[in-house]
Structure 1
Amino acid sequence: MLNRLSRPAVRLVERYLPDAYLLVLLLTLVAAASAVLVERQAPIAVLRMWGGGFWSLLAFSMQMLLVLATGFMLASTPLVKGWLSRLAGLARGPGGAIVLVSLVSLAASWVNWGFGLVVGALFARELAAQVRVDYRLLVASAYSGFVVWHGGLAGSIPLTIATEGHFMVDSMGVVPTTRTIFAPYNLAIVALLFIVVPLVNRWMLPPEDEAVLHAPEPEASTPPRSGATSPAERLEDSRWLSWLVGLAGIGFLADHFIGGGGLDLNIVNQAFLMLAIVLHGTPRRLLASLQQAVRGGAGIVIQFPFYAGIMAIMVDSGLAATLSQGFVSIATERTLPFWSFIAGGVLNLFVPSGGGQWAVQAPIMVPAAEALGADVARVAMGVAWGDAWTNLVQPFWALPVLALAGLKARDIMGFCLVQMLVTGLVIGACLLWL
């Protein structure tokens, strides 16, 4: 049934979903028009909101470029390529490949979202080299594991409200992770998704005659030096410099974790980079890998500023608050976590940032939870799951995966749309009845 359902969804998306850059332009116009028509903002005020927020994600954009580059460089080292190859060898046929990449992505994303994005995409590339399987669905399966990130160890909302002095502490206090990430209902959602997501991906597998296969792009080679070399060229081929700097970086990371430091995006990128420096051995090999890695980063460079502008319009105009308040107005004590989930999912299409969403929704959701007598921790996790849920059809987070895989958003979003419908039912039902 899911295979039959996925076919029209894939055809619909392939026909009508524009390139991710065109989509962000359309979202910009929708957000601006809504701010004028719904919030009665003056056009010049909306223009200033948009322009004022346009560059607010510069640091994050650089982080995402490094997710792409450092992850690719690490995966192209002989050691990691060997590990990925052996792991891919566990797949028995196309169905096994789809299930395996789904499970690997789910596990990696639960640990850390940046780690999950990179590992899933690179593992999909390796599987495509060994198994004849629809490459679109393979990459969609790798990306679908991302749906669990906000219920995992790096979830920004549960970690924020578990931190002393967070911005809503006067209203809700400090909420320990035992009531959010490690609460029985949240662990049940994660466990169910570890079952449902791989099965749904497997059931969407098209027949062999309809499969779109893919031959991965050959990786950049590093030609050997010929003839006499200069001192600078010998330095480019030396191992001692790479090992000295790379091992120093690994030492810093060890000290960071021994001292109780956590795993955030900067630490993930630093770990990938230092390991890549050591495992490539020479600077010349590392730079050859880097040149290939950065080819797919153009989408991140051009699109993330537009999303920053959209986020500014949604927040500063009051649109995000109006949207959240609309869902709160129809909620009861039992249903508020569910409507928080739906509101978070809708808002995420325009504000694809978990921390950004919580900053907008918390001043509305927390007082509503107190007024209705609802569990404020469950309401917060409703927002978190809503943010993670609609990422399945939001190209913002898919851009690094698509760049690593060499695909466009329309290639995978038909499959992701089906996955979003199914996982939405699972998460929503759990928030209502568990």
Structure 2
Amino acid sequence: MTAAAPVADGPLARFALRSAAWAERWFPDAYVFAALGVVVVAVAALAFGATPTATAAAFGDGYWSLIPFTMQMAFVVIGGYVVATAPAVARLIDALARFPRSGRGAVCYVALVSMLTSLLSWGFSLVFGGLLVRALARREDLDMDYRAAGAAAYLGLGAVWAMGLSSSAAQLQANPASMPPGLLAITGVLPFSETIFLWQSIALTAALIAVSLLVCFVTAPRGASVKRANEFEGADRLAADERHAAALPPRTRPGEWLEYSPLITVLLAALSLGWLAYEFGQKPLVTAIASLNTYNFLFLTVGLVLHWRPRSFLNAVARAVPSTGGVLIQFPLYGGIASLLTAAKGADGQTLAHHLSSVFVHIASTDTFTLVMGVYSAVLGFFVPSGGGKWIIEAPYVMQAANDLQVHLGWAVQVYNAAEALPNLINPFWMLPLLGVLGLKARDIVGFTFIQLLVHIPLVLGLLWLLGLTLTYHPPVMP
């Protein structure tokens, strides 16, 4: 009996793989993009008449302006990782991996879990989704394509994360203490009820989830074209990561006994849970969870309790910290860019943010603003792969344009959230944490995510425009 011939990749998949290989070869590190952004904005400020002294002062004054927000976003990553790698969650993942009955069903199952968990925390979604794929891959009875399942695990970040609670733009707009002063004066405070909890936003999110699942179903390989985890060298080297919940090594000296005892965990958890109970008791749920500090505090407390022993908790934190390096080193540059845009005045006394908003007003109308902003945010998102950092760059002028054109400010934030996720589907930068868990390379999954991108572009832009017609403008509300 002759072996079945492998199913050849279609033209779109081959094109996506060639594009990903080119990007991996020629695209510099994301830090370089941020640094180039500083240079371009500084040169533009000088070109509009700002003095060298004013330009340098604006950059330096803004460099450390985002330290609270930088740490908050770093803890989003750390908290998500700590919870996802806790022993109890590991057992939950193994239990969840028992449900799918077919390879196609497993791919769709991973996609659904990834997207739903990303609405809570994108950092948690990446790690949890990757570990779920590895658990499913251990099932010999499941004819699941490892590449397609890996791409499905990425859909949380690639499709809907910014529509949920960990949206950096929505979180920033709801927290005046974290906002640059120039932006606060333009937008005021936008609570979650005006952004991610709008019914229009919920409808858009539901549509994205449904369509993404459909694409997963029709593109998941079957039969001879299926590739299992053991066919990828990197996946075979991850046996240690696969057993992330293994028992701690025995302590070697008396001074370590508190690290291995739950005593500290119990005391800290009692204090933490007491504060959380007080916080949620004093404020409406939406208001309390909108605080990034409360959000991160909740995740760290849950992670501490789930790991139970301080040493296990600290080991998980140590494994999570390297993935925050990009946030820590890039966000100061974004703060500098935001200050250059809003503080460095040209010869006419106007800032770059003012000139850029004027361009938006000129080329867009109230009806077309969502389309123009969506396309612009998506394109820029490929070159500046940072949800929060890119919003800080864009927000001063796009939100001023929204005010001038009387576009609903909360929906403008959601336009950004939905559109900026589009380039994530083919940008290797955000894939790195997941690829590390899976032992894959970007080129292994981007062929599947590229097809998702082709479907999502018209769907997202069309729904943003259509749903935006149902909203009316409200002036900014200052704290």
Per the TM superposition, whether the score is higher than 0.5 is yes
Matched, 1:76 2:85: yes
Aligned length: 425
Matched, 1:95 2:111: no
From 39, 42, 64, give the equivalent of 1:32.
Answer: 39
Shift of residue 196 of structure 1? 0.9
2:301 counterpart letter in structure 1: M
Instruction: Please give the alpha-carbon distance, in whole angstroms, between the structure 2 residues aligned to 1:320 and 1:391.
Output: 26
1:132-169 deviation digits (Å, cap 9, x = unpaired)? 64444433322322332343455555677678999889
**Is contact 2:42-2:340 (8 Å) kept?**
no
1:385 counterpart letter in structure 2: A
From 409, 416, 420, give the equivalent of 2:449.
Answer: 416
Shift of residue 88 of structure 1? 1.9
Instruction: Please give the alpha-carbon distance, in whole angstroms, between the structure 2 residues aligned to 1:48 and 1:175.
Output: 30
Instruction: Please give the alpha-carbon distance, in whole angstroms, between the structure 2 residues aligned to 1:403 and 1:63.
Output: 23
**Is contact 1:3-1:205 (8 Å) kept?**
no
Tell me, what secondary structure is at the counterpart of 1:332? coil
Distance 1:52 1:419, change over 3 A: farther
Instruction: Please give the alpha-carbon distance, in whole angstroms, between the structure 1 residues aligned to 2:52 and 2:448.
Output: 40
1:365 alignment partner in structure 2: 402
Instruction: Please give the alpha-carbon distance, in whole angstroms, between the structure 1 residues aligned to 2:433 and 2:20.
Output: 20
Shift of residue 426 of structure 1? 0.6
From 350, 353, 372, give the equivalent of 1:339.
Answer: 372
Instruction: Please give the alpha-carbon distance, in whole angstroms, between the structure 2 residues aligned to 1:328 and 1:2.
Output: 44
The correspondence of residues 213-232 of structure 1 with structure 2, limited to 5 A, is: 213=229, 214-215=235-236, 216-218=238-240, 219=243, 221-222=246-247, 225=250, 230-232=253-255
From 281, 296, 320, give the equivalent of 2:308.
Answer: 281
1:362 counterpart letter in structure 2: M
Structure 2 gaps, min length 5: 1-7, 230-234, 342-350, 468-479
**Is contact 2:122-2:156 (8 Å) kept?**
no
Is the deviation greater in 202-211 or in 76-85? 202-211
From 364, 378, 384, give the equivalent of 2:417.
Answer: 384
1:108 alignment partner in structure 2: 117
Tell me, what secondary structure is at the counterpart of 1:390? helix
1:69-120 deviation digits (Å, cap 9, x = unpaired)? 4433333333211211111221223322221122122222334545544543
Shift of residue 262 of structure 1? 1.4
2:466 alignment partner in structure 1: 433
From 297, 300, 307, give the equivalent of 2:324.
Answer: 300
The correspondence of residues 110-189 of structure 1 with structure 2, limited to 5 A, is: 110-130=119-139, 133-146=144-157, 147-153=159-165, 155=167, 180-189=195-204
Distance 1:47 1:206, change over 3 A: farther
From 80, 83, 95, give the equivalent of 1:86.
Answer: 95
Instruction: Please give the alpha-carbon distance, in whole angstroms, between the structure 2 residues aligned to 1:346 and 1:389.
Output: 9
1:254 alignment partner in structure 2: 277
**Is contact 1:2-1:200 (8 Å) kept?**
no
Instruction: Please give the alpha-carbon distance, in whole angstroms, between the structure 2 residues aligned to 1:37 and 1:156.
Output: 27
1:352-406 deviation digits (Å, cap 9, x = unpaired)? 3265133342112220x23xxx555544432332233334345565554445555
1:238 alignment partner in structure 2: 261
Instruction: Please give the alpha-carbon distance, in whole angstroms, between the structure 1 residues aligned to 2:438 and 2:51.
Output: 40
Shift of residue 9 of structure 1? 0.3
**Is contact 1:393-1:417 (8 Å) kept?**
yes
The correspondence of residues 255-274 of structure 1 with structure 2, limited to 5 A, is: 255-260=278-283, 261-262=288-289, 264-274=291-301
Structure 1 gaps, min length 5: none
1:251 counterpart letter in structure 2: G
**Is contact 1:352-1:387 (8 Å) kept?**
yes
Matched, 1:316 2:340: yes
2:206 alignment partner in structure 1: 191
Tell me, what secondary structure is at the counterpart of 1:90? coil
Distance 1:85 1:19, change over 3 A: farther
Tell me, what secondary structure is at the counterpart of 2:276? helix
1:31-75 deviation digits (Å, cap 9, x = unpaired)? 635763797379978788767666555555544554444433333
Shift of residue 338 of structure 1? 1.6
Instruction: Please give the alpha-carbon distance, in whole angstroms, between the structure 1 residues aligned to 2:72 and 2:297.
Output: 10
Shift of residue 176 of structure 1? 7.2
2:398 counterpart letter in structure 1: Q
Is the deviation greater in 92-101 or in 111-120? 111-120
**Is contact 1:110-1:148 (8 Å) kept?**
yes
1:259-310 deviation digits (Å, cap 9, x = unpaired)? 332155444443333333333333344344445x24xx43531565245425
**Is contact 1:247-1:278 (8 Å) kept?**
no
Instruction: Please give the alpha-carbon distance, in whole angstroms, between the structure 2 residues aligned to 1:15 and 1:80.
Output: 38
**Is contact 2:435-2:442 (8 Å) kept?**
yes
When the two chains are superposed, the root-mean-square deviation of aligned CA atoms in Å is 4.2
1:428 counterpart letter in structure 2: L
Shift of residue 13 of structure 1? 0.1
Instruction: Please give the alpha-carbon distance, in whole angstroms, between the structure 2 residues aligned to 1:234 and 1:320.
Output: 56
Shift of residue 189 of structure 1? 1.5
Is the deviation greater in 198-207 or in 356-365? 198-207
**Is contact 1:67-1:118 (8 Å) kept?**
no
Distance 1:133 1:14, change over 3 A: farther
1:211 alignment partner in structure 2: 227
